[in-house]
Amino acid sequence: MSRAYNFSPGPAALPEPVLRQAQAEMLEYRDSGASIVEISHRGEAFLEVAHRTEADLRTLLSIPDDYAVLFTAGGATTVQALLPLNFANAGQTVDYVVTGHWGKTALKQAAPSADARIAASTEAGGFRSLPARGEWTESPDAAYLHVTANETIHGVEFREIPTAGDVPVIADFSSSIASEPLDITRFGAIYAGAQKNLGPVGIAVLIARRDLLERAGQPRAPIFDYRTQLEGESMLNTPPTWNWYMLGLTVKWMLDEGGVAVFAERNARKAALLYSAIDGSGGYYRNDVAIDARSRMNVPFFLHDPALDAAFLTESKAAGLVALKGHRVLGGMRASIYNAMPEAGVQALADFMQEFQQRHG
Ligand code: PMP
């Protein structure tokens, strides 16, 4: 059996050492007499996993003490629905900058619980660029301003997310967290579903300034209340222990590899290699995103003739390169090249693209 280079957008490839360690510990975790998913989340062994995971994540992302870390179930979408309930008063304005499918989703999730407004959107242009900062129409009394750091489907990424004066910025980092150093103090909160850079699907991370967590928000069940979740160490109910454990292994792997600065360099090289394969193909392959908005993590691209798509997918798979089919919203291809994708995988894709072009002309 051999593992392919997996370009899946998420659930995405996990680092092989993480899978091997999970495999080695599957039948019995340390000396607990059972696997990690067969023991209490309140027992010593799992609590050690949970605490170590938070400590390692704090080290990896340089999270300051005045920011809390929550591990939540329900994915990034659930966080999106809970943002206005936790951080806005009833009827208060919340601003959204919409640069792709996921920004739109975040807005939709917030709309029932706040006066959700679009401060800027690039939808009219097909989500191929970033909105000029000078043209954002923000509400001065907004509870927060929401942005999507990296749009996983449209392949649009902010290289530096603007601040918004006294209005805290909340950013969805689902598909780019830990891909480069990040100054968290520029944000009120950031969040991410785990299934791209942090581990398997089933858990999300919310990193929020502690003073924002003290906001009254709106009536909500305790389980949806981030203050209560923080007091309960993200264990108000049984947490997704397997996912938490896997997230811990993945974070540890990133630390062992040298941390986010090392990944930033690797990711920049990987993206440069792939975009130059596309741009250097004489129009055979095409990426439509403005150069300064191109994502380092998700690279959508199109063949000059869509009739070749099926052959591209079949032949790439045969060459050991899987999950390159684009999202149905855009069609074409998409290569997701998160932290766990080695540079050799991107090189193999670039080589394949060139060979395919020669073969099919
Ligand atoms: N935001 C972004 C940027 C995403 O890429 C995704 C999932 N691909 C989501 C939110 C939704 O995440 P989830 O499926 O964990 O709810």
**123 and 152 Cβ atoms separated by less than 8 Å:** no
102 annotated binding-site participant: yes
Residue with CA at minimum distance from ligand 1 atom 4: 174
Indicate whether residue 263 lines ligand 1 (CB < 6 A).
no
- Give per-residue pLDDT as tens, 31-56: 999 999 999 999 999 999 999 999 99
244 noted as active-site residue: no
3-state helix, strand, coil in the chain (%, to 5): 40, 15, 40
- Give per-residue pLDDT as tens, 290-304: 999 999 999 999 999
How remote is the CA of residue 29 from the centroid of ligand 1, in Å?
Answer: 30
How remote is the CA of residue 263 from the centroid of ligand 1, in Å?
Answer: 21
* Closest ligand 1 atom to Cα of 9: 8
- Give per-residue pLDDT as tens, 253-299: 999 999 999 999 999 999 999 999 999 999 999 999 999 999 999 99
* Closest ligand 1 atom to Cα of 77: 16
Choosing among 3.30.565.10, 3.40.50.1820, 3.90.1150.10, 1.10.3720.10, the CATH entry for 259-360 is: 3.90.1150.10
pTM: 0.98
Where in the chain are all domains bearing CATH 3.90.1150.10? 259-360
250 confidence band (pLDDT: 50, 70, 90): very high
78 annotated binding-site participant: no
pLDDT of 3 above 80: yes
Where in the chain are all domains bearing CATH 3.40.640.10? 16-256
**63 and 69 Cβ atoms separated by less than 8 Å:** yes
**75 and 105 Cβ atoms separated by less than 8 Å:** no
ipTM here: 0.99
How remote is the CA of residue 76 from the centroid of ligand 1, in Å?
Answer: 5
Q: pLDDT: is 330 or 2 the higher one?
A: 330
Is the N-terminal amide bond of 15 cis, ω within 30° of 0? Answer: no
User: Under CATH, what is the fold of the domain 16-256?
Assistant: Aspartate Aminotransferase; domain 2 (3.40.640)
* Closest ligand 1 atom to Cα of 79: 16
